[in-house]
Amino acid sequence: MNLNLGCPSEKAQEGGYGACLLLDLARVQEILKAMVEAVRVPVTVKMRLGLEGKETYGGLVWAVEAMAEAGVRVFVVHARSALLALSTKGNREIPPLRHDWVHRLKEDFPHLAFVTNGGIRSLEEALFHLLRVDGVMLGRAVYQDPFVLEEADRRVFGLPHRPSRLEVARRMRAYLEEEALKGTPPWAVLRHMLHLFRGRPGGKTWRRLLSEGRSLQALDRALRLMEKEVGQEGEEENPHPKGHPEGALGLAREGV
Ligand SMILES: Cc1cc2nc3c(=O)[nH]c(=O)nc-3n(C[C@H](O)[C@H](O)[C@H](O)COP(=O)(O)O)c2cc1C
């Protein structure tokens, strides 16, 4: 259960939530304590380094101590200031990044977990931070091209299997079917799959079919197209030999 202390939008400011809460640490503590009492899962925060470019490392330490006292053990830090007069887009680009402050927090509070976030574009960059903190969060880079993380299972988690794009698409299809039974509109799932074949042959048609059709049937049409594309290209995309046991089992389990 995560408390958002990072959103700088006007709406958040009007509602008194998000980044502006960092101005009132006593209130943050009160909210966090109430959350910790109310739920059984860990309570985490997503925060900025501070506000209006006026943050100091000492102030950040003070904030972390206050939240830790309220029971927080995991801190996701978007490693820049929030400038409340700026748009949300500007707030993801303009205030300078200071990942080194998050690294330093980990040195100063080794018993707490820190996840650093902001402007991380590649697995290489993520691995650099992972030597210094407990986790990294990628937002835009992975949304724009999910396969930025194609080597993550192997290089971060030591797992041998690297799923192909088609395999991911088929598993997402199974997920979409499950969600549809609960009443989730297909587009709520499909919209996050638009960039799955980014930069690959057929990738633009994939995107068009999904965004025009917005249905399970449209996904099936797009899947058939990509199966043909990948068939023409050979299995180059998936480095594992045909019939890789884990992959085959995984798909069988999903009923695909
Ligand atoms: C379209 C969009 C929506 C976002 N919504 C949220 C949100 O609801 N809660 C949140 O904590 N951060 C939200 N963020 C911020 C991201 O979690 C992240 O902190 C930010 O994009 C910086 O990371 P990045 O440079 O890897 O994208 C959003 C970002 C984008 C681009």
Separation CA 176–CA 32 (nearest Å): 34
d(CA 115, ligand 1 centre) in Å: 14
- The predicted structure's pLDDT at residue 109: 98
Q: Is the CB of 129 under 6 A from ligand 1?
A: no
Q: Is the CB of 168 under 6 A from ligand 1?
A: no
d(CA 205, ligand 1 centre) in Å: 27
Domain boundary among 96, 121, 138: 138
Q: Both 104 and 23 in a single domain?
A: yes
Residue 147 inside a domain? The answer is no
Q: Whose CA is nearest to atom 21 of ligand 1?
A: 139
Catalytic residues: 7
Q: What is the CATH number of the domain that holds 245?
A: 1.20.120.1460
Q: For residue 16, how many C-alpha atoms fall within 13 Å in the half-sphere facing its CB?
A: 5
Residue 146 inside a domain? The answer is no
What is the pTM for the complete model shown? Answer: 0.88
Name the nearest CA neighbour of 161 among 171, 145, 150, 147.
Answer: 150
Taking the CA of residue 142 as reference, the ligand 1 atom at the shortest distance is: 26
Confidence bin at 234 (pLDDT 50/70/90)? low
Taking the CA of residue 117 as reference, the ligand 1 atom at the shortest distance is: 23
- The predicted structure's pLDDT at residue 242: 36
Confidence bin at 256 (pLDDT 50/70/90)? very low
Separation CA 58–CA 220 (nearest Å): 54
Q: Is the CB of 118 under 6 A from ligand 1?
A: yes
Choice from 9, 11, 77, 78 to test ligand 1 binding pocket (greatest atom count within 8 A of CB): 78
Q: Is the CB of 90 under 6 A from ligand 1?
A: no
d(CA 220, ligand 1 centre) in Å: 30
Q: Both 9 and 93 in a single domain?
A: yes
Residue 235 inside a domain? The answer is yes
Full residue range of the structural domain in which residue 113 is found? 2-138
Whats the size of the chain, residue-wise? Answer: 256
Other beta carbons less than 10 A from residue 222's beta carbon: 24
Residue pLDDT, tens place only, 114-160: 999 999 999 999 999 999 999 999 999 999 999 999 999 999 999 99
Separation CA 74–CA 157 (nearest Å): 20
Residue 98 inside a domain? The answer is yes
Q: Is the CB of 121 under 6 A from ligand 1?
A: no
Choice from 140, 143, 148, 149 to test ligand 1 binding pocket (greatest atom count within 8 A of CB): 140
Count of structural domains within the chain: 2
Q: Whose CA is nearest to atom 17 of ligand 1?
A: 139
Q: Is the CB of 46 under 6 A from ligand 1?
A: yes
- The predicted structure's pLDDT at residue 255: 28
φ/ψ bin of 227: left (φ > 0), alpha (ψ from -120 to 50), beta (otherwise): alpha
Q: Both 132 and 192 in a single domain?
A: no
Q: Both 200 and 120 in a single domain?
A: no
Residue pLDDT, tens place only, 54-91: 999 999 999 999 999 999 999 999 999 999 999 999 99
